[in-house]
Every structure is written in structure tokens, then in C-alpha cells.
Amino acid sequence: MALFQRCVHLGCRVPWCGPSQGFECPCHGSKYNSIGEYNAGPAPRNLDRFVVELNPANELIIRTGSIIQTPRCLEPSVEYPQGPSCIGAG
Ligand code: FES
């Protein structure tokens, strides 16, 4: 999948946090697991995704103009956090 690395709360860039194995927003504390599923904070939904496809030459095409929005995850597919947070608390 191709995740849009922009927080769905107010648009800050959401860096990867190696120790916790998730994306953590430094602006207001929203947290997402490694596949962008919502975990905590004010974000109203999971991280957005882009449509991904293979062209006839088997090249990976990421359609940055086609954004997929999904509601907050209720049953995460990937464990998070897996270690200390990069932005504190949890
Ligand atoms: S912009 Fe990310 S939590 Fe507010």
C-alpha cells in the first residue's frame, strides 16, 4: 500500500517512529500503526492511502490524485505500539 504521510487531523507530516513501529504526529499526538490504522489522538480516521496499480510493463504506479479514506480502525491488523513512542506518552 501507499500511505499519504499527512496527518488526517490538520495536515502535519507524520514521521515514522522506529521504536514503536508506527506513524506519530508531532503536532497534536495522533498515532497510527505501521499500515496507517488509527490508534490514538484527534485524527478522525486512518491515514489516507493512494490507489496503487501495475501498468502493462509491470511498473508500480501510485496514483497520488486518487486518495482512499477509511474510518478509524476498530480492530487493528497490526500490533502497535511495539516499543516506546517517539513523541511521548505511550
Ligand atoms: S495534525 Fe496530526 S494530530 Fe493534529
* Cα end-to-end distance, the chain, whole Å: 26
Nearest ligand 1 atom to alpha carbon 43: 3
**pTM to 2 decimals?**
0.93
pLDDT, position 60: 96
The pLDDT of residue 89: 60
Under a CB-based contact definition with an 8 Å cutoff, are residues 14 and 7 in contact? yes
Q: Which of 10, 31, 45 to mutate to test the pocket of ligand 1 (most atoms within 8 A of CB)?
A: 10
pLDDT at site 88? 75
Which ranges of the chain have pLDDT less than 50?
A: none
